Amino acid sequence: MSNKSKPPLTLSQSQEDYLKAMYLLAGCGGIVHVRDVAEKLDVKKPSVVAAVKNLADKGLITHERYGSLSLTNKGKIIAAEVCERHRVLFEFFNKVLGVDKETAEKDACLVEHYISPDTKRRLFKFIEFVHRFPSEEKDPRWLDHFRSYMATGRTDICAGTKEKTV
Amino acid sequence: MSNKSKPPLTLSQSQEDYLKAMYLLAGCGGIVHVRDVAEKLDVKKPSVVAAVKNLADKGLITHERYGSLSLTNKGKIIAAEVCERHRVLFEFFNKVLGVDKETAEKDACLVEHYISPDTKRRLFKFIEFVHRFPSEEKDPRWLDHFRSYMATGRTDICAGTKEKTV
DNA sequence: ACTAAAAGTTAGATATGTCTAACAAATCAA
DNA sequence: TTGATTTGTTAGACATATCTAACTTTTAGT
Instruction: Please state, for a pLDDT cut of 70, what percent of chain A lies above it.
Output: 88
Greater pLDDT, B97 or A144? B97
CA distance B112 to B79: 12
B76 touches strand D (CB under 7 A): no
What is the CB neighbour count within 10 angstroms for residue B18? Answer: 27
CA distance B113 to B56: 20
| CA–C1' B17–C18 (A) | 14
| CA–C1' A35–D29 (A) | 22
Label residues B38-61 b or e (16+ Cβ within 10 Å = b): bebbebeeebbeebbebbeebebb
Interval A130-150 mean pLDDT: 83
Under the banding of pLDDT at 50, 70 and 90, the label for residue B137 is confident
CA distance B101 to B146: 19
CA distance A22 to A39: 11
Interval A23-41 mean pLDDT: 94
- Is residue B116 within 8 angstroms of chain A, CB to CB? yes
Cβ(B160)–Cβ(A148) below 8 Å: no
Interval A155-163 mean pLDDT: 48
C-alpha distance from residue A6 to each of A51, A55, A58, A94, A102 (Å): 21, 16, 11, 38, 39
User: Is the four-CA dihedral B115, B83, B122, B146 of positive or negative sign?
Assistant: positive
- Is residue A124 within 8 angstroms of chain B, CB to CB? no
Q: Which of B103, B123, B158 lies nearest to residue A133, judging by beta carbons?
A: B158
Please tell me the predicted confidence (pLDDT) of residue A6: 59
- Is residue B98 within 8 angstroms of chain A, CB to CB? yes
| CA–C1' A103–D20 (A) | 32
Instruction: Please state, for a pLDDT cut of 90, what percent of chain B lies above it.
Output: 69
- Is residue A126 within 8 angstroms of chain B, CB to CB? yes
Asked if B133 lies within 8 A of A142 by C-beta distance, the reply is yes
CB pairs under 8 A between A and B: 91
Please tell me the predicted confidence (pLDDT) of residue A131: 86
Q: Where are the alpha helices (DSSP H) in A58-140?
A: 73-91, 101-111, 117-132
Q: What is the mean pLDDT of chain B?
A: 88
Domains and CATH numbers, chain A: 13-77 (1.10.10.10), 84-160 (1.10.60.10)
Contacts of B155 in chain A (CB under 8 A): 132-133
| Residue B87 reports pLDDT greater than 70 | yes
Q: Do β-strands B61-63 and B69-71 pair in parallel, antiparallel, or remain unpaired?
A: antiparallel
Interval A60-81 mean pLDDT: 95
Q: What is the pLDDT of residues B116-135, one digit of tens each?
A: 999 999 999 999 988 887 67
In this structure, of A27-31, A35-39, B2-6, B138-142, the range with the lowest mean pLDDT score is: B2-6
Under the banding of pLDDT at 50, 70 and 90, the label for residue B37 is very high
Asked if A119 lies within 8 A of B125 by C-beta distance, the reply is no
CA distance B70 to B27: 11
Please tell me the predicted confidence (pLDDT) of residue B92: 97
| CA–C1' B129–C4 (A) | 65
Per DSSP, the residues of B56-82 read HHTTSEEE-TTS-EEE-HHHHHHHHHH
